[in-house]
Each structure stands twice: as C-alpha cells, then as structure tokens.
Amino acid sequence: MNLNVYRCNGAYLAVDCGLGFGGNDNPEVDVMVPDPAWLVERRKKLVGMVITHAHEDHIGAVAHLWRSLGCPIWGTPFVISVLRRKLGEVGLGHDVELNTVQPGGSFSIAPFECQFLHVSHSIPEAQALVLRTPYGTVVHTGDWKMDPRPMVGPPTDEAGFAKVGEEGVLAMICDSTNVFEEKPAGSEADVREGLAKVIAACKGRVAVTCFATNVARVESIALAAQAAGRKVALFGRSLRNAVTSARECGYLSQVHDFISEEEAQYLADRELLLICTGSQGEERSAMAKIAADNHPNVTLGEGDTVIFSARMIPGNERAVQRMQDELTRAGCEVITPDDAPGGVKVHCSGHPSKAELQRLYALVKPKYAVPTHGEWRHLSEHAGVAEDAGADAILVEDGDVLRLAPGRADVAGSAPVGRLAVDGPRLLPLEGGVLGARKRMLYNGVVVASLAVDRAGKVLGQPQVSAPGLYEADGEETAQLSGELARLVRDLPDSLRGEDDALREAVRAALRKAVGRRLKKRPNVEVHLLRV
C-alpha cells in the first residue's frame, strides 16, 4: 500500500499508490487501499502523481482512489498501458490525464524537477525517481536490485546514480526488503537457464506460477517451453492483461502467440505448458482453482509438474502450502525455489541484498537515509548499512511527516493514516461498522429473527429464527429459539410490547443471551419486527 507524498513550497507530489491484501490479520477483507483523507483535504495543491513501476503494491490503488485525488499522473509506457486498462475497467478511461515518460527521461512537475533512472526489478521499466528542488535533491529508489543480466530492459543505471551522487544528494528513500541477505539477489539470466533445464526434463503437463507482471520471467518460461516443443497457454486474467501491455510496449517479441484456455484442453500432455496466476495462494487465482480441481478448462494430476517461480511473501505461507499440498495429493511433482533439481535457479528476488545496498550508498552518498519497505527489523538493519556508509539514518513510520530541509532533517509531525477495504464498488473503513460487523459475524455468527405483533404487542403466528453459521437451517435448535422468542414477548410488560424500538431491543438481548448460554458466543442479532 505504498503512498508517499513530498511537499515543496506548498505543492504536494504523490509517488506511487498501491494496494494490499487482507491475509490472516483481516480475513474479512480481500483488498485494502490506503485511506487518502489527509491528502484529499489538500487536493487543490496536489500537482501530480508519479508511479515508479506497475506492481500492484505501487499502482493498484490508483483506480480506486483517483476520483478523490483528481490529479495528473506520470509513468513509463508500460506503467501507463497497465494503468489505462485498470482505469478503463472502472469507467475512468477518458477522465485521467496520463503523461508518458520514457525510461530514464526527465520531466517537470513544478516546483519539482524529476528524472527517472533505470533500475532492475521483477517487472519492465522499473524506475528510481530523482526529485530536484531548491532545497536539495532527493532520490526515491522504489523497488530495485542490481542485476547484470536482467533479460528485459537494461541493468540498473549505476553511472546515472553516481552522477546524481556527485551533484550532491540530500536524502535517499530506499528499499529494505532483502537487507538480511548478504549476497546479491542473483540474475534473471540464471533463472532463464534454470527454467529451461527443468522444463526440458518434464514428461507430462507442466504448469508454472509466477507474478503476472514479471515479464522477463514469463518470457523465460515461454522460451523454455518453445525449446521443449510445447505450446503455452495463459491462465489468469491479470496475466493476460500484463502480457497484452507488454506486447503493446514491444516486449515478448521472441515469444510465439499464446493459445487459449479452451485450445489447451485438446493438446497432448507433452505438448502443453501453462503459465498461471496464484503464486501466493490467492483463493480465486487460476492455480488455486486447478489445485482444488474445480477449474473449468484444465486439470493436473499424476505425472504432471508444477513449478513455483516465486517465493512466498510473509503472511501467505499457509495458503501457498495448502495449495502445494493439494497438488501433491493429486499426484503432481511440485518444484519450489528451495528444492529445484540439481540446485538450479527457478526464481530470484527483485530486491537488493545488503551487498547491493552498500554499493548504491557508495554511488549516491546521501546526507540522510530513509529506509522504507519491510518490517521495523528490516528498517533498523538498513539504517545500520546506511550509517556505515556515512549517512545519517532516520527511521519513520506510516503517517510520520519528515522535514528534510531547511535545517536539520527531523520528524516534524504526523498525518492521520489508515486503511480502506475495497468492497465491490465501495471503500469501507477497516475498523468501521460494516466491516466490524462482518468480522464479528465471522467469529460469532449471526442470528436473524422475524416476528409479527398486533397493536398491543401480542405475537401473531410463529416467530421465525435463522442462525446461519451457528445452527443448521430448520434444525431443532432454531425451533427452540423460535418458541423461546414467543414466550419472551408474551411475558414482557405492556409498556415494552407497545413500543417498537424497546420490543426490538428486548428480543435482540434475549436471543444473544440464549445463544451465548448454549454456544458461548456473542452473535450479531438482527430483529425484523412487523406490527400489524
């Protein structure tokens, strides 16, 4: 959920606008976005937004939040292609001012003079952002690593970083994700060679799951399939969209046209390779459906191979392991980055190791270092690397307002921050009434009672009670609750039975107490009262 804001001479510039996932901490939520309320209050002074690259945690919230922000957007051709498709899906295809900047290009968003610098990452056209202001230059790295052979796009522009460093850099805001790894993250070229060896040795159907926007990885998989005499089918909407944007921008020129899911059904096992979404165990992804054996167009089983060309993001372990277990149970051989045959690489990280961080600090030589990305332990470790390189490290949390200049850099205040849940077309506060009720229902269930009474409060007919998730429909327990409800209303004082709100609240309290007594739970109770 990256959403960064820089202010200079009263003008605000946003950098990135990403989403996150609910996971184990918020099981009632699929997708979350940052709450932009603080920035919305200042939208008249918001001069623009720059997107560093097209990963969901940097671009995914734009379509959800743009109506609130209303600013022009800058990005590389691949970013703009991906973003245009996302905006079109929510009816904003012609409303947003999208400005295309070539990778490595310069542009002005007054009072900020901006420059992109090439960085290697697991997506095309990832860029670091250089912000030049009257008070100093800031380098915002985004996600990056140093890959000598990235396969798609040029390597990280070390000469460009060194040149900016010679000019003098006030502060560098830099990626901490992989700081505990001592050695370089490895090259995409090594992964291409590893995938080719593994796929060439497979006999049955082969399925590979990776991040949809890792175009270099998709190309490596497809080229390995072609060399092995296999045709490639894409399974997953986000994967098809990413490939469409990649082809629009001139990538994947060596790759043959992909076949459709329907065509894949009619190929012999040895002739087919699937590239699937779902490397993180996402419940509705293509790989999750295949693992659960409920995909409409393809099955995997005995003699087939599934390659996970991605590492588990912390928090996703349970979902990924469950999916891998289902595939193994079906008879598939499952290959992960930790157990690839012969020790070959089927994945490498897109983030810098400690050695790569040290190299970048030697080039940029910032006065201040602001570690970002990862947990507090990552930020602290990164701070040590920065200080060893001669920079003053400043650790900040979400909402901190860091004054970089004039004067000594320091946390000068805080802005309110929060998270919103994407619920269909709505954005809901994560701690608000709707989602709070949903979370309570998840753990404590819900009871719905319907009853009709006359003007005096006498029950007409038989009250109806349902408790989905607590009792079976039409079971003995709900019949007992219905009987208790009728007796409760009959025994209430006339003053309560004659007032709708009082009667409704008395029924609600009694049902909650009755279920609590039986099940030791405190369900949400809804009462529908009809006075005849």
* pLDDT tens, residue by residue, 237-269: 999 999 999 999 999 999 999 999 999 999 999
The whole-angstrom distance between residue 230's C-alpha and the CA centroid of its chain comes to: 32
Place of tokens 């327990």: 477
Predicted local confidence at residue 480, as pLDDT: 84
Q: Which of 3.10.20.580, 3.50.50.60, 2.60.120.470, 3.30.1490.20 is the CATH number of 445-531?
A: 3.10.20.580
CB atoms closer than 10 angstroms to residue 307: 27
Long-range Cβ pairs for the range 510-515 (8 Å, 24+): 510/484, 510/485, 511/447, 511/449, 511/465, 511/481, 511/485, 512/447, 514/481, 514/484, 515/445, 515/447, 515/467, 515/470, 515/481
Predicted local confidence at residue 24, as pLDDT: 60
Residue 62 identity: V
Residues of the chain with pLDDT under 50: none
CA dihedral sign, ordered 289, 291, 292, 296? positive
Question: Would you give the end-to-end CA distance of the chain in angstroms?
Answer: 52
Predicted local confidence at residue 409, as pLDDT: 96
Predicted local confidence at residue 282, as pLDDT: 86
Residue 319 identity: A
Domain 188-343 sits in CATH at: 3.40.50.10710
Domain 1-100+410-427 sits in CATH at: 3.60.15.10
CA dihedral sign, ordered 10, 15, 21, 25? negative
Domain 103-186+348-395 sits in CATH at: 3.60.15.10
121, 184, 352 from 356: Cα distances, Å: 13, 6, 5
1-100+410-427 against 103-186+348-395: fold identical: yes
User: Which value, to the nearest 10 degrees, does the dihedral of the CA atoms of residues 27, 32, 37, 42 take?
Assistant: 160
Predicted local confidence at residue 425, as pLDDT: 84
Which residues fall within 8 angstroms of residue 77, CB to CB, at 6 or more apart? 100, 102, 125, 248, 249
- Domain spans, the chain: 1-100+410-427, 103-186+348-395, 188-343, 445-531
Tell me which residue of 109, 105, 142 sits closest to 8, measured CA to CA.
109
pLDDT digit string, tens, across residues 266-311: 999 999 999 999 999 888 899 999 999 999 999 999 999 999 999 8
Predicted local confidence at residue 222, as pLDDT: 97
pTM of the model: 0.86
Q: From edge to edge, which strands make up the β-sheet containing 459-466?
A: 459-466, 446-453, 524-531
User: Which value, to the nearest 10 degrees, does the dihedral of the CA atoms of residues 316, 322, 325, 330 take?
Assistant: -120
